[in-house]
Amino acid sequence: MPTNLLLSISVKYWQDFQDTLAKVMDANIYIFDVNGGSFSRFSRPVELCQEVNKGGKICNEKCIRFYKSALRSLEDKGILTCPYGIRLYAYRLGTYAQNIGFLVITSTRIRTQVSGEEENTFVTKAHSIYQTINEVLKAILEQVFSKVEPSSLSIEELMTLPGLTGLEVAPGNEIMVYPLWTALGAVGLLGIVFPVSMDDNGSRNLQIYANFAAVALANAKLIRRLEREAETDFLTGFFNKRALRNILVTELERTIRYSIPLSVIFLDIDDFKTYNDTFGHMAGDVVLQKTAEIIKNSIRTVDIAGRYGGEEFVIILPGTKKEGAVAVAERIRKSIEIYPFPHRHVTVSLGVASAKRNDSIDSLLARADQACYQAKRQGKNRFCLDPS
């Protein structure tokens, strides 16, 4: 309960607010908790979703898997397409330090073709909805956590919290909710059920348990933060070399076990050292950051990109054959070629390799690297496919 802050908000009261906002803004809104689980219901009818999910919460298995995967990799915001073709605008709720959950917004009028003007108008509307909901959620949670003393909940109130509808509490018991405070601030809530007859000594013991839980949660949060930092390239926000190799081990095992295709792209920025030496390291950093942004915008949410070192990037494409990987490589190459970088034109060379049954991560990366080197030798600003 404490790590999922949305659990401290009653869905019964939240849904009314959400539905009213959706009606005013003429958009469909739904919210997921930090684990990608459905928190609220659809606010407005979406015909296709009603056919798939019976018009209520996300209950279709394909949809559940999609949202859990896509939202887990979402940073601040992104445009997604659900398995049934609906375009979604997704936002991370909360702050950089504390994720409350995720907001997903769609138009109530689902169309396959949308003009650029319509798209821009809806993006502006979606951002306005996000700002409103994020501020309201943060205000609610601030109010919840502003209480230093524990507060009492009735069983009826407790049952309105998501995930607790099946909880069995004996009649006559009370529920005390303790805000968990540490040096990091409020890290969660702890709910404890106890008999009405509990004396003062028992109440003091409960507060001690709450303090222990707060420290444990704070330590867990610090460990997770350190783990994330250890896996992240500070400049680009991408996975670093260590994290990429760990991910590739998992993907390669899955590929071999289930005979699923897997491809890798090795990307190197052409003449980057000369650019750095001529225009300075800050200008070089801008090129690296923009290259990372272009890569991110050119791949799917299930694909994994990282900075392998210096001016080298690696993109892992699960479930992708060489033909699909070639298309991704060309899309990235062309996007970088036409981007108006400051100072001068920037291009990249790319190598594409697809996994074989006898591959290790080193052999797969080596083949992609060799293909990239071949692209350099052939004149740069191109991709080469590993011939093996």
Active site (catalytic) residues: 311
Estimate to the nearest angstrom the gap between the alpha carbon of 358 and the chain centroid: 32
- Asked if residue 81 lies in contact with residue 55, where contact means CB atoms within 8 angstroms, the answer is no
Cα(77)–Cα(129) distance, rounded to whole angstroms?
13
Contact criterion met (CB below 8 Å) for 278 and 272: no
Q: How would you label 273-288 residue by residue, b for 16+ Cβ within 10 Å and e otherwise? A: eebbeebeeeebeebb
Q: Give the side-chain half-sphere CA count within 13 A for 27.
A: 22
Q: Can you tell me the distance from the alpha carbon of 297 to that of 235, in angstroms, rounded to the nearest whole number?
A: 17
From residue 310, give the alpha-carbon distance in Å to each of 106, 314, 344: 39, 12, 19
216 burial (CB, 10 Å; 0-12 / 13-18 / 19+) is: middle
Spatial CA neighbour of 104 closest among 4, 193, 29:
29
CA distances in angstroms from 70 to 2, 76, 85, listed in the order given: 23, 12, 14
| Contact between 349 and 267 (Cβ < 8 Å) | yes
Q: Name residues whose C-beta falls within 8 Å of residue 65's C-beta, 6 or more positions apart in sequence.
A: none
Report how far residue 80's alpha carbon sits from residue 100's, in angstroms, rounded to the nearest whole number.
Answer: 20
Give me 10's structure tokens.
């009653």
Q: What is the number of H-type helices and E-type strands within the chain?
A: 11, 12
Look up residue 147 and give its two tokens.
């209480």
